[in-house]
Amino acid sequence: MPTKTGKRNRRTPEVVYRNNKPVSVILDIAEYNEMLERLEDVKDIKFIENLKSKQLKFRKLDDFLTGYNRNV
């Protein structure tokens, strides 16, 4: 929640224990959303790296247009 100065207080995550073992964590929702965005960024980077490792294939425009179906 923003304070009067406009800065948000970040609460430390709370760990929930069951039988003396950690079973879950309670996070601030903004921190959770930020974490999801970072995970998506990592996934995107891996996808791009995979694309860059593949060899590019080119076709002539006429060859492409011959097999192109406009209804797709």
pLDDT of residue 38: 96
pLDDT of residue 70: 75
pLDDT digits (tens, 9 = 90+) for 26-53: 999 999 999 999 999 999 999 999 999 9
Of residues 34 and 68, more confidently modeled: 34
pLDDT of residue 33: 96
Domain spans, the chain: 14-67
Q: How far apart are CA 2 and CA 10, in angstroms?
A: 10
Assign residue 17 a region: left if phi > 0, alpha if psi is -120 to 50, beta otherwise?
A: beta
The whole-chain average pLDDT of the chain stands at: 87
Q: Nearest CA to 10 among 26, 25, 30, 24?
A: 30
